[in-house]
């Protein structure tokens, strides 16, 4: 039996294409947590999010011989999963006869516990300001920021996940940061924010 835990994502995915159940289980273990985390940013319906994860990996198993070559496995999984979650939420909205806006499936909610923290009082204040600013961003800007910082996806990968071109993502992240810089408390602590809280985001703008 092959030790798939030592393989990179590309090799694991290739093994899945060849019908390996062991490789499928390995990929599930690697990505269940980040997919769940992202799904719960899109909707608070935990059961629906879990179902979408299970359906995605069931699809990979049942259609393994029809899967194409995938270079960026993480982005591929996130894109497929995101599409499933949003589609399911929209269907649920119609069935329950409530407006899609009332469910806010694409609006994310950020918490201070999700950001890095040095334990200093100034840092805690900046983190609170950062979270407030993040929660006030438009949905697409929130998701671009989330995928870039929380998951570490590249601009090209985020564009693939969200179904837009690279330049759109660069513009979206730039606009988000410009909005956040308007927050007085963020401007005062911008040096610390660059170094501690958002090192990956600020470096690409």
Domain stops at, among 78, 101, 124: 101
In a domain, 144, yes or no: yes
Q: Do 96 and 137 share a domain, yes or no?
A: no
Query: CATH number of the domain that 9 lies in?
Result: 1.10.1740.10
Q: How far is the C-alpha of 203 from the C-alpha of 205, rounded, in Å?
A: 6
CA 81 to chain centre: 10
In a domain, residue 158? The reply is yes
Residue 182 lies in a domain: yes
- Between 205 and 95, the higher pLDDT residue: 95
Same domain, 87 and 133: no
DSSP 36-77: HHHHHHH-S-HHHHHHHHHHHHHHHHHTGGG----S-HHHHH
Q: What does the mean pLDDT of the chain come to?
A: 79
Same domain flag for 19 and 57: yes
Domain span at 134:
112-202
Instruction: Report the C-alpha gap between 127 and 58 in whole angstroms.
Output: 39
My answer on whether 132 and 77 are in the same domain is: no
Look up the CATH number of the domain holding residue 133.
Answer: 1.10.10.10
In the prediction, which pLDDT does 74 show? 93
Count of structural domains within the chain = 2
Q: 38-82: per-residue pLDDT in tens?
A: 888 888 888 889 999 999 999 999 999 999 989 889 999 999 999
For residue range 93-125, what is the model confidence (pLDDT) as tens digits? 776 644 444 444 456 777 776 665 555 555 677
Q: At what angle do helices 21-42 and 73-95 cross, to 10 degrees?
A: 50
Instruction: Indicate whether 175 and 194 sit together in one domain.
Output: yes
Q: What are the tokens at 95?
A: 């069935």
> Are 9 and 64 within one domain?
yes
89 and 158 within one domain: no
Which residue reads 């992202």 in tokens? 38
| Side-chain half-sphere exposure of 59, counting CA atoms within 13 A | 11
Res 91 pLDDT > 90: no
**Residue linked to tokens 């609170």:** 128
Residue 179 lies in a domain: yes
């Amino acid at each position: 039996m092959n030790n798939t835990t030592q393989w990179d994502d590309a090799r694991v995915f290739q093994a899945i294409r060849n019908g390996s159940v062991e490789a499928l289980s390995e990929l599930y273990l690697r990505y269940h947590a980040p997919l769940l985390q992202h799904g719960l940013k899109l909707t608070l319906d935990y059961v629906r999010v879990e179902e979408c994860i299970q359906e995605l990996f069931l699809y990979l198993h049942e259609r393994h011989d029809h899967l194409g070559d995938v270079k960026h496995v993480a982005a591929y999984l996130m894109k497929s999963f995101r599409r499933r979650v949003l589609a399911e939420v929209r269907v649920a909205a119609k069935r329950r006869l409530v407006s899609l806006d009332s469910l806010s499936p694409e609006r994310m909610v950020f918490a201070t516990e999700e950001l890095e923290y040095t334990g200093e009082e100034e840092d805690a204040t900046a983190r609170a300001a950062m979270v407030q600013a993040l929660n006030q961003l438009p949905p697409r800007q929130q998701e671009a920021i989330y995928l870039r910082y929380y998951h570490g996806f590249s601009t090209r990968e985020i564009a693939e996940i969200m179904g837009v071109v690279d330049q759109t993502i660069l513009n979206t992240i730039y606009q988000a940061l410009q909005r956040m810089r308007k927050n007085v408390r963020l401007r005062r602590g911008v040096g610390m924010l660059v170094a501690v809280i958002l090192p990956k985001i600020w470096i690409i703008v």
